Structure 1
Amino acid sequence: MATKRKSATSPARKLAARIAAGRARIGIIGLGYVGLPLACLFAEKGFPVTGFDIDTAKTGKLAQGRSYIRHIPGKRIAPLVKAGTLSASSDFAQLKRMDAIIICVPTPLSRQRDPDLSYVANTAREIGRHLQKGQLIVLESSTYPGTTDEVVKPELEARGLKSGRDFFLAYSPEREDPGNEQYGTAAIPKVVGGDGADALELALALYNAAVVKTVPASSPATAEAVKLTENIFRSVNIALVNELKVIFDAMGIDVWEVIDAAKTKPFGFMPFYPGPGLGGHCIPIDPFYLTWKAREFGIATRFIELAGEINTAMPRYVIGRLTEALSDRAGKAVKGARILIVGLAYKKNVDDMRESPALTLIDLLEELGAKVDYHDPIITSVKPSREHPHLAGRRSVALSPANLKRADAVLIVTDHDSIDYRAIGQGARLILDTRNRMARAGWRGRNVIKA
């Protein structure tokens, strides 16, 4: 029996034509570190883009052509707003006007380290209230395999429209690396999994209009698994070098020297680097999404959980090294000591402090009775956070000779390029360096201890 050909006026064909012509109206929900660069990219390609966010401070700034994320300057946003290709709104009724809607909302963990999909579920429910025939919906938020089918799809179908017939549903994991000048959004291939052939074809067409390459996956669940695999790979390898750091330190061996020598091997080795703990919106969180989902199948994720335990323990290891150094070098206890933490962001050169180990270190030190200040040239005050609300509002202190001299120890947690490390070396009595930054800055004084 011959297969019935699609009508030239079918919803899929009409949307494909609008995408090909660059006229598809794109709505992006969630204007953070993932959604905003994606919105800018599509707008730069000439698509009419509306960014949606419940935070009216964000939408208000965008409407004025201003930015609130350091590595996405206002000079990139303002011309797009002026040209009319980029707008922002907190009125979700406007979703009715969109041809494609991309979801870029947070997927944190609960206090019990279970997936918190409330942002995804609430967003899908809101889209469902305004869903129109022929729309393409793409989830980009990092999550466990099955979320698109089990959480998003039922919310969208709740009012009678059906995926694959009336609208089209896909998953494409975000792969942003904030502050990475080599690999911006357009230069990173997009993995795409669709709920049916039409959804896959449309999502591929949409992203092909903006990024260097697309990689089709057989299903949304497969694409969801790709994202978790990428970040679990990083988490496990970071845990490995963190454990090696502890072992080699006990042996009097510099792990940084070991890694630098090992990476000269042209095959079979990939360098990862130790640190004071994991931070950011992906690596400390995503592995536990798979751990949680695996329990449904009666499978224990021992390797993943062990890596999480090692990485989570690193702040306490750093505190232990600091305690030893204060006692040996200054004859002081942590209690009553003045500690200056350098760097609050979870990684260098960004203004993002989500899950930053610096926040945990501040808490641990103050529990031990230390007096803690921090310096960060990018994050001038601590933003509210779920895990550390009591730190909100604290302000960065200057990296002045007086502040360096007053500190019993300086603890380098985040190695922003804009920090004057030579000034730290000259002015601080004791430096605990968790990033090997002093050595890379050419300072090898006796006041530096690697931690």
Structure 2
Amino acid sequence: MLNTTLQRAPIQILEDKLRHKQAVIGVIGLGYVGLPICIAAAEAGSMVLGFDVDPAKPDALVRGKSYLKHIPDDRIRSLLSENRFDATTNFDRLSEPDALLICVPTPLDAHLDPDLSFVVATGEQIAPRLRRGQIVILESTTYPGTTFEVLRPILETSGLVCDRDFYLAFSPEREDPGNLEFSTSRIPKVIGADSADASNLAAILYDQFVPRTVVVSSSATAEAVKLTENIFRAVNIALVNELKLVYGAMGVDVWEVIEAAKSKPFGYMPFYPGPGLGGHCIPIDPFYLTWKAREYGVATKFIELAGQINSSMPQHIVNELAGALDRASGRGLSRSRILVAGVAYKKNVDDTRESPALRMIELLEARGAQVRFYDPFVSVLPDSREHKSLSGRRSEIWDPVRLVDYDAVLIATDHDDVDYAALASNAKLIVDTRNACRRAGVTSSNVVLA
């Protein structure tokens, strides 16, 4: 009985700290996922310590500066003034927090296989600093089994035993940058762990700053929940992209079809076509499941077909633009001047990760076009291993009068801050992949839906 009491003492201490907001929460990775979690937890009353390998992020944060447009500086400054937030590159401080939340990238490699190098490296940083009574929670999107099969063995190289000395769970991020209706503190949190103690501790932690926690039976189940959410979107977007091609060949406006279909109050949910998928989740996550499914000899034909359709859209849009130019002026893409309006992967954010606009710029330039871009949220294209030739390019300054200098404007992202009326009045030709002009009330003969 004495040994059992001693073994449970760390969990009791941790539970009490979490319940009374006396626990220090550590967040590893201060990007589009990690920083909002830091803010949500700190604003709810917890002390938060953020970690990042990029010194520019902690340096900015400790000076009260936000590098994410949808997070204002004053929220950072308020937390700093109340001593509830700090940020560092010093991973020796990983032993300080009572809870460690891992929010690092999980990209694909060149062969579309999962790249868990950031998760593995983070686990290897934590292991020598892990102490009894801590809980580690992976938030990075990944395939079912990663938390138990990959992260747990790395952490146990510390000599500590999972679910006895420390606790481990998975809780997938559900961030939607730029969504003012659903911020971190307003989105329910799914939690999965492989012990009742770990599930309970994780739920107590997140209950402090989210509206509701949804506990599932295992970490693998929680990992599958995240993949299911994003695969659902990827497949349905692929469906409407294919319908756009079919209906377009028939002379039917897919946007009108969707608007009418969504009047049905049951059995239908609107999705919208576009130039391809972007962001850190939807273009990538389905391939995590297809990769893991091969281990079990299961084919994921439906998911892979959706991926093929979505990844083909940039080429389709470029072909549509070439055809529109030919019809409007009798000239092709070669030596044409093209302005791409919007390079962020979605409206009203500054995130260009996996943006189809970047792929379209490359395809246009490969066909001899001279391409510039304008984006009110992206002043400079960041370094990218996928689009190295575009790194450092700067946005054009908005000047409606100069639009006439371009043979065509390609609307790739439908930011609200763009004056679509001025665009239509001054551009020679607009190829609109988002139905942005019509939604802004602009109808003009020089606007072509693609």
Shorter-chain TM-score tier: over 0.9
In 2, Cα distance between the equivalents of 1:45 and 1:35? 16
* Residue 320 of structure 1: how far off its partner (Å): 1.0
State the shift of 1:386 in Å. Answer: 1.5
Q: What is the aligned length?
A: 449
Q: What's the CA shift for 1:421?
A: 0.6
Q: Which amino acid aligns with 1:81?
A: L
- What is the letter of the counterpart of residue 292 of structure 2? K
For the Cα contact (< 8 Å) 1:141–1:173, is it kept in 2?
yes
- 1:310 equivalent to 2:314? Answer no
CA distance in 2, matches of 1:387, 1:280: 13
Gaps of 5+ in 2: none
Partner of 1:224: 223
1:289 alignment counterpart: 288
What SS does the corresponding residue of 2:158 show, helix, strand or coil?
coil
Maintained 8 Å contact 1:105/1:119: yes
Deviation (angstroms), 1:402: 3.8
Q: Does 1:113 align with 2:112?
A: yes
User: What corresponds to 1:233 in structure 2?
Assistant: 232
- 1:309 Cα deviation after fit: 0.1
1:324, distance to aligned residue in structure 2 (A): 0.6
- Deviation for aligned residue 1:6: 5.2
Contact 1:93 1:130 in 2 (8 A): yes
- Which whole-Å CA distance do the structure 2 matches of 1:36 and 1:8 have between them? 34
CA distance in 1, matches of 2:350, 2:281: 16
* Contact map agreement 2:51 2:91 (CA 8 A) in 1: yes
> How far is 1:399 from its partner?
2.6
CA contact (8 A) 1:168 1:195 kept: no
Structure 1 partner of 2:30: 31
User: Does structure 2 conserve the Cα–Cα contact (< 8 Å) formed by 1:192 and 1:204?
Assistant: yes
Q: Find the aligned partners of 1:377 and 1:6 in 2 and give their Cα distance.
A: 59
Contact 1:343 1:374 in 2 (8 A): yes
Is this contact kept in 2: 1:342–1:413, CA < 8 A? yes
Q: Quick check: 1:332 aligned with 2:338?
A: no
Moved over 6 A (4+): none
Q: Which amino acid letter does the alignment assign opposite residue 279 of structure 1?
A: G
Kept in 1: contact 2:7–2:164 (CA 8 A): no
**2:87 maps to 1:88:** yes
- Cα distance, 1:45 vs. partner? 1.2
Separation in structure 1 between the aligned mates of residue 330 and residue 92 of structure 2, nearest angstrom: 64
Superposition pairs of residues 412-423 of structure 1, within 5 angstroms: 412-423=411-422
- Cα distance in 2 for partners of 1:444, 1:317 equals 23
| 1:346/1:354 contact within 8 Å kept | yes
Q: 1:244 is paired with a residue of what secondary structure?
A: helix
Which whole-Å CA distance do the structure 1 matches of 2:421 and 2:401 have between them? 15
CA distance in 2, matches of 1:291, 1:176: 23
Residue 160 of structure 1 aligns to which amino acid in structure 2?
A: G
Secondary structure of 1:283's partner? coil
Could you tell me how far apart the structure 2 residues matched to 1:105 and 1:403 are? 42
- Contact 1:163–1:195 (CA under 8 A) maintained in structure 2: no
- Structure 2 residue 8 is the aligned partner of structure 1 residue 12: no
CA contact (8 A) 2:24 2:48 kept: yes
User: Deviations for 1:59-103, whole angstroms, at most 9, x for unmatched residues?
Assistant: 001011110000011111101011110000000010111100000
Is residue 336–residue 407 contact of structure 2 (8 Å, CA) maintained in 1? yes
For residues 336-368 of structure 1, give each alpha carbon's deviation from its aligned partner in whole angstroms, at most 9, with x where no partner exists.
100000001000000100000000000000000
Deviation at 1:9, TM superposition (A): 6.0
Correspondence for 2:426:
427
Residue in 2 that maps onto 1:173: 172
Q: What are the within-5 Å matches in structure 2 for residues 7-406 of structure 1?
A: 10-406=9-405
d(CA) in 2 for partners of 1:186 and 1:194?
22
Q: Distance in 2 between matches of 1:156 and 1:383?
A: 33
Look up the equivalent residue of 1:207 and give its one-letter code. Answer: Y
In 2, Cα distance between the equivalents of 1:129 and 1:246? 55
Q: Do 2:375 and 2:395's aligned partners in 1 also have CA atoms closer than 8 Å?
A: yes
One-letter identity of the residue aligned with 1:298: G
Distance 1:57 1:5 in 2: 46
Where does the alignment leave 5 or more consecutive residues of structure 1 unmatched?
none
* 1:20 partner amino acid: R
Q: Distance in 2 between matches of 1:78 and 1:399?
A: 32
Q: CA deviation at 1:403?
A: 2.8
AA at the equivalent of 1:221? A
SS in structure 2 at match of 1:207: helix
User: Partners in 1 of 2:397 and 2:59 — Cα distance?
Assistant: 31
> For residues 4 and 391 of structure 2, what CA distance do their matches in structure 1 show?
59
Amino acid at match of 2:205: L
Residue identity in the other structure for 1:406: D
- The 10-residue stretch of structure 1 (395-404 or 174-183) with the greater mean CA deviation from structure 2: 395-404
Aligned AA (2:191): V
Corresponding residue SS for 1:158: helix
Distance in 1 (CA, whole Å) between partners of 2:343 and 2:6 is 56
Task: Tell me the distance in 1 between the aligned counterparts of 2:208 and 2:400.
Answer: 52
Normalised by the length of structure 2, the TM-score is 0.98
**Secondary structure of the equivalent of 1:383?**
coil
Cα offset for 1:401? 2.9
Residue type of the alignment partner of 1:143: T
TM-score (norm 1): 0.98
Native 8 Å contact 1:65 1:74 kept in 2 = yes
**SS where residue 10 of structure 1 aligns?**
helix
Deviation at 1:159, TM superposition (A): 2.3
